[in-house]
Amino acid sequence: MQSLGRHVLAELYGCRFEVLNDIDKVQDIMVNAALEAGAEVREMVFHKFSPQGVSGVVVISESHLAIHTWPELGYAAVDVFTCGERVNPWDACNYVAEMFQSETMDANEVKRGLIANQDERLVVNI
Q: Which sequence positions are flagged as catalytic?
A: 63, 68, 83
How far apart CA 91 and CA 36 sit, in angstroms, is 7
How far apart CA 84 and CA 29 sit, in angstroms, is 23
100-110 core/surface letters (b: 16 or more CB in 10 A; e: else): bebeebebeee
Asked if 89 and 10 touch (Cβ cutoff 8 Å), the reply is: no
Closest CA to 111 of 74, 83, 92: 83
